A and B are shown apart, each in its own frame.
Chain A
Amino acid sequence: MNKKFDQFAGVAFLLVGILFLVESQKISDSAYGSSVGPKIFPMWLGIILIALSIRLLYETFKIKSEESKKEKLQYKKFLIIFVSAVLYAFFLEKIGYVASTFLFLLIAFQTMERRKIISSLLISAFFAFGVYYLFSELLGGSLPGFPLV
């Protein structure tokens, strides 16, 4: 358990709760004049979340800070893969499914282990083409094809 994270999360949830409470007041009442319009439910959710996050904050302050284990996290690997996944999502419709999938897999495989480039190439190509062919050609689904060609 990470006390810092809990405190941060407690404040974040508190803000979300307040946001919901405030924003729900802006929802217009339903037209047919029923007393239970579309804003009741979100409003109560906001109130409950505020109460719960206050309780969470109270709990985290009560707990004495415990020894925090320092774990070695592989941020570099994660960031490379995450950024390439974001780029994958961004370019999917622009350069097509096959090309973007192939590139993403290749980068991710090589990030995980920088060896065996041939098998990385083969698996990426096989997956990208295979899924595209099966889905678009055989099952008649639609994926962005080859806009550049």
Chain B
Amino acid sequence: MDTLQYLADGFSVAFQWHNLLFALVGVIIGTAVGVLPGIGPMSGVALLIPVTATITSGMPTSAAAASSIILLAGVYYGAMYGGSTTSILLNTPGESSSVVTTLDGYQMAQQGRAGAALAISAIGSFCAGIVALIGLILLAEPLSNVAVKFGPAEYFSLMLLGLAAVSGLAGKSMTKALIMTVLGLMLGTIGIDAVSGIARFTYDQPILYSGLEFLTVAVGLFALGEVFKTILEKDDETGAIAKIHRIMPTKQDMKDSALPIARGSLLGFFIGVLPGAGATLASFFSYMTEKKFSKNPETFGKGNIAGVAGPESANNAASGGAMIPLLTLGIPGSGTTAILMGALIMYNIQPGPLLFDEHPEVAWGLIASMLIGNLMLLVLNMPLVRVFAKIIETPKKYLLPLIVAISFFGVYAVQYTTFDLFLLLGCGVLGYLLSKNDYPVAPLVLALVLGPMIENNMRRALTISNGEFSIFFTKPLSLVFIIAAVAWLLVPLLLKLRGRKVIINEEG
């Protein structure tokens, strides 16, 4: 069994003491990020990229990339655990994928069952994480074997599909989402063209030759945008935090949530694999499914534990599932995975089918560390739930300026120019204005990461076909991707025309 051998190698990477430490730090920070309202997984991961980049700077590239991605992925799925805490205790979701958890979770807390709700969401998240990982392990090899056969035309169409999927589901207006996508692609063309070596849109400014740094843009748009929003819109002080009495769920609770957890995990995983449909959508669907399956649907919204267990498992499974297109195809399906991909590219490691051959220690090390990380989260979350709940009380007056300072440090430590600091501030203002007016910023970041790859593959394909655009439609796989991309954009539009309410994905 090749896969088992690779997995064993992966574990030997993940069990190196510094990688264990990285995973631990990642999941702790991730939980904190999930708990703190205002910082979502996306800004959390973006903020930590520069920090991990400096910590790992002394290591060989491949090992450094493995360690960084272990930490960053830990933040990503750790945030899924943490997000439920505020939903249950405060009725305010820490991030968008925990919105439905508030429905029954807060009710449970009101009835004095906060501990059980928290515990069941931790257990559910753990099971889901494991299901997603098994899926990842099973699908990774076959998928990347298929993807190896892709030519530039297939890649171009596949990336178009990725962009279309994210734009089609993001935000309230598809026009706005598409504008953001195109804008991201445009920003990606700034700098020296990789194929011909010609400077584009640089206007003789040497600082622009290497292009706009994706990290600066992402941190600015997400982290600073969020900070500026919180400073400008002083929100009302949050209400009282529900008390946690007893943490262990009762036998009846466990019995009631076993099936919802199983269903939520599977559902979440498959939704996560689809590009564009992220954790938020997964948790939403899971809630609806549970309500349908339940013998007494009227108890939903009044503290039914299945309404916590299902969605919480689903959002965690989705975050694991989202790693599949990223690792095997090199196509991030969401804002956060786009940022993870940007981090890998910073280390000169290209996610995609060749990742498993060229850098098995990165791919399998990450997979193995996710298993360990999920276990850590379960162990940490059960006894420490009270401690994490305390993080909610961190005063904003200290938190917000510190986030600005951390992003300054991060960007400067990687880029060494004050130009990037000004760019960072500019992106922060832009990020605030855009997301306030329903322009989703996740597609922009995704497009910025994918832009150069899309362009290169397009030009390579066109060079093969002597400039005939028909190459994208005559290759069968490429045609399938393009049809899927068009469908992804048209179907929601058609549904809207027929007056249906379309569920949108506000997470990145």
Contact = CB atoms under 8 A, between A and B. Distances in A.
A35 B466 contact: yes
Given A35-B467, A82-B228, A89-B418, A45 B186 contact: yes
26 contacts: A30-B198, A32-B196, A34-B467, A36-B458, A39-B200, A45-B182, A49-B182, A52-B178, A56-B176, A56-B179, A77-B232, A78-B231, A81-B404, A82-B228, A85-B425, A92-B412, A92-B421, A101-B405, A101-B408, A108-B401, A112-B231, A112-B398, A131-B405, A131-B409, A139-B58, A140-B57
Given A36-B467, A38-B193, A74-B234, 13 more contacts: A1-B438, A30-B196, A35-B463, A45-B185, A49-B183, A71-B233, A74-B233, A78-B228, A89-B424, A104-B404, A108-B404, A112-B398, A139-B57
A81 B233 contact: no
A90 B418 contact: yes
Contact of B400 (A16, A52, A108): A108
Nearest to A49: B182
Given A89-B422, A139-B54, A38 B196 contact: yes
Interface string A94-116: 00010001001100110011000
Contact of B232 (A41, A49, A52, A73): A73
B397 interface: yes
Interface string B208-240: 000000000000000000001001111000000
Nearest to A28: B198
Interface residues of B, number: 57
Contacts of A89: 408, 418, 421-422, 424-425
Contacts of A20: 186
Contacts of A56: 173, 175-176, 179
A8 to B, nearest CB: 10
B396 interface: yes
A71 B233 CA distance: 8
Nearest to A52: B179
B141 interface: no
Interface string B464-503: 0011000000000000000000000000000000000000
Interface in A51-105: 52-53, 55-56, 59, 71, 73-75, 77-78, 81-82, 85-86, 88-90, 92-93, 97, 101, 104-105
Nearest to A75: B232
Contacts of A41: 189, 455, 458-459
B394 to A, nearest CB: 12
Contacts of B439: 9
A93 B401 contact: no
Contact of B175 (A34, A35, A55, A71): A55
B252 interface: no
A118 interface: no
Interface of B: 54-55, 57-58, 172-173, 175-176, 178-179, 182-183, 185-186, 189, 193, 195-196, 198, 200-201, 228, 231-234, 396-398, 400-402, 404-405, 408-409, 412-413, 416, 418, 421-422, 424-425, 429, 433, 436-439, 455, 458-459, 462-463, 466-467
A93 B185 CA distance: 32
A49 B401 contact: no
A127 interface: yes
A117 interface: no
A46 to B, nearest CB: 8
Given A30-B196, A37-B196, A38-B198, A109 B463 contact: no
Contact of B196 (A31, A71, A108, A139): A31
A1 B185 CA distance: 25
Contact of B183 (A16, A24, A131, A143): A16
A40 B189 contact: no
Nearest to B439: A9
B179 A13 contact: yes
B437 A1 contact: yes
A77 B413 CA distance: 28
Given A73-B232, A78-B231, A82-B228, A127 B402 contact: yes
A5 B57 contact: no
A62 to B, nearest CB: 12
B189 A45 contact: yes
Nearest to A37: B196
B401 A105 contact: yes
Nearest to A54: B175
Contacts of A40: 459, 462
Nearest to A113: B397
Contacts of B178: 52
Contacts of B436: 2
Interface string A115-145: 0000000010001000100010001111100
A104 B406 CA distance: 12
A131 B298 CA distance: 53
Contact of B437 (A2, A28, A81, A82): A2
Nearest to B452: A41
B433 A5 contact: yes
B198 A81 contact: no
A85 to B, nearest CB: 6
Interface in A10-36: 13, 16, 20, 23-24, 27-28, 30-32, 34-36
Given A45-B185, A92-B418, A78 B232 contact: yes
Contacts of B57: 139-141
